[in-house]
Amino acid sequence: MKCAPTTLYAATASGTSPPVLRRSGGPDPRIRSPLVVPEFLPFRFGSIFSKMVFDSTRAPEIYEGLSLRAWRVLALLASYPDITNAEMSALFGMDTATVTRAVAELKSKGLITTNRDPSDRRRVQNRLTDAGAALHDRIAPARIARGRRYEACFTPEELTQLHRLLDKLSRHVDAIFIEEWREERRRAAV
């Protein structure tokens, strides 16, 4: 499957084909510095992410009663056992309150356990239970297949390059966040 041409589509929940946004005669003439939306990276990533999340929520029965946020935490714990809520928050780019709610949901269903790290009693680690691992293994194949469908427009070399570029962007974005966080803390201390 080839990648679709770059065109802006508006996602719809109606099940009909999404409308293509038609190019107008140009930006509003009152705007001095127009934001070129199709070339603005945060918009592009946000748009793709929103469509993928919408796609993930179209068949809630796939998650066997879990919220999408709880499924994301469950999937992360399958790859990173003994991770803390703060570490999950950093990996996801999700606020800690959202991760905490997902952890509480999973704990209440007996799908994860939490325990203190024996080498650092301040760290509370999360781990899948046998029931959590079994649920993951029932849900994951459909999600993996969907992910492969998204990736199908890339050659193996392009996919490797895409992941390399995303890793580079991720490190850069993390560095910006850390720099800004330090600056905010410095100003707050003054």
Q: For the chain, what are the domain ranges?
A: 59-153, 155-184
Q: Which fold has domain 59-153?
A: Arc Repressor Mutant, subunit A (1.10.10)
Cα 156 to chain centroid distance, Å, stands at 22
Q: What is the pLDDT of residues 116-161, one digit of tens each?
A: 888 888 888 999 999 999 999 999 998 899 899 999 999 999 999 9
Q: How confident is the model at residue 23 (pLDDT cuts 50, 70, 90)?
A: low
| % of the chain exceeding 90 in pLDDT | 47
pLDDT at position 169, please?
A: 94
Q: Between the CA of residue 105 and those of 10, 67, 92, 102, 167, what are the distances in Å?
A: 33, 8, 17, 5, 30
| Contact present, 63 and 139 (Cβ < 8 Å) | yes
Who's near 23: CB < 8 A, 6+ residues apart? none
pLDDT, greater one: 17 or 80: 80
pLDDT at position 76, please?
A: 93
pLDDT, greater one: 124 or 4: 124
Tokens at 105, concatenated: 């949901």
Can you tell me the distance from the alpha carbon of 152 to that of 159, in angstroms, rounded to the nearest whole number? Answer: 9
* Least confident stretch, 27-31, 144-148, 160-164: 27-31
pLDDT at 21 over 70: no
| Contact present, 103 and 73 (Cβ < 8 Å) | yes
Q: Which helix (H) or strand (E) holds 159?
A: helix 156-189
Q: Please give the model's pTM, rounded to 2 decimal places.
A: 0.74
Who's near 54: CB < 8 A, 6+ residues apart? 11, 13
pLDDT at position 136, please?
A: 95
Who's near 43: CB < 8 A, 6+ residues apart? 35, 37
pLDDT at 17 over 90: no
pLDDT at 52 over 90: no
Can you tell me the distance from the alpha carbon of 159 to that of 165, in angstroms, rounded to the nearest whole number? Answer: 10
Q: How confident is the model at residue 19 (pLDDT cuts 50, 70, 90)?
A: low
Q: What is the pLDDT of residues 67-112, one digit of tens each?
A: 888 999 999 999 999 999 999 988 887 888 999 999 999 999 999 9
